[in-house]
Amino acid sequence: MKKFYEKNEIWFAVIWIIVYVVGASLADTFSSMIGIEKVITLPFLFALSAFFVIWIVKNNLKDKYGLCKPIGDIKNYLFYLPLLVLISVNFWMGARLNYSPLESVLFALSMVLVGFVEEIIFRGLLFKAIAKENVKVAIIVSSVTFGIGHIINLISSGGENILSHLLQVFYAMAVGFLFVVMFYRGKSLVACIVTHSLVNAGSTFQNAVMPAYVEIIQAVVIIVVAVVYAVVLWRTLPKQEDNLVENK
């Protein structure tokens, strides 16, 4: 596996994206067949997360893939306050128990692991692989593919709540852009992983009954906060070389 990784990092990233998307989708399907949401998905995501942690540590790639402290002073990140806005969005219309107590625990833990896996895959593997040749292209591809990847939620829902899922695609692109800027300029994925995981976990208890205009307002707020914060960080954090120096 290491030889394949060293030979072609882009295909290595693409294969793991496929493994994650297909595996998580099948795990969700099997969980539904059993009658307990996420009962298969959680072990799958845990195994995938454990694999990435072990593989990254074993190959001394923690700094390369951002499992380290960010560079610079916390005030340069505006104390991460804009991230708190993103985390709070799920609770603007209150909270509710959308699943049984057991399923709620399984769902929330699964969403935490989804945050970790997606950051490692999209901001870590994919971004770093493409950034070796062109950072700007890497930023665009990482952001867009992250957003488009959320179309699977629309497919798995059987076409229900089309507006919600389409809005999710667009604001996921904006958040993906913010996270890749944070990683590129700050050299750390930790804040991205924590924020992504908390946002995902919060969706477990989101009030699912919301007027369309509220969903649109939420999406607009997320997009504006994410893009503005990304621009501020891009201007204030230390500049990096156009061609990233990779850790071997």
Would residue 231 count as lying in a domain? Answer: yes
Place of tokens 């692109």: 173
pTM for this prediction: 0.92
Would residue 28 count as lying in a domain? Answer: yes
Would residue 245 count as lying in a domain? Answer: no
Token digits for 111? Answer: 């969403």
- Please provide the DSSP assignment of 90-158 as one string: GGTT-B---S-HHHHHHHHHHHHHHHHHHIIIIIIIIHHHHHTT-HHHHHHHHHHHHHHTTHHHHHHTT
Would residue 21 count as lying in a domain? Answer: yes
pLDDT of residue 118: 95
Would residue 244 count as lying in a domain? Answer: no
For residue 191, the enclosing domain spans 2-236
**How do the pLDDT tens digits run along the chain, 248 residues long?**
889 999 999 999 999 999 998 999 899 999 999 999 999 999 999 999 999 999 999 999 999 999 999 998 999 999 999 999 999 999 988 999 999 999 999 999 999 999 999 999 999 999 999 999 999 999 999 999 988 877 766 656 555 678 887 898 999 999 999 999 999 999 999 999 999 999 999 999 998 777 888 889 999 999 999 999 999 999 989 876 544 444 44
Please tell me the distance from the alpha carbon of residue 230 to that of residue 179, in angstroms, as a whole number.
Answer: 8
What domain count does the chain have?
Answer: 1
Please tell me the distance from the alpha carbon of residue 179 to that of residue 208, in angstroms, as a whole number.
Answer: 26
Would residue 248 count as lying in a domain? Answer: no
Would residue 59 count as lying in a domain? Answer: yes
Would residue 246 count as lying in a domain? Answer: no
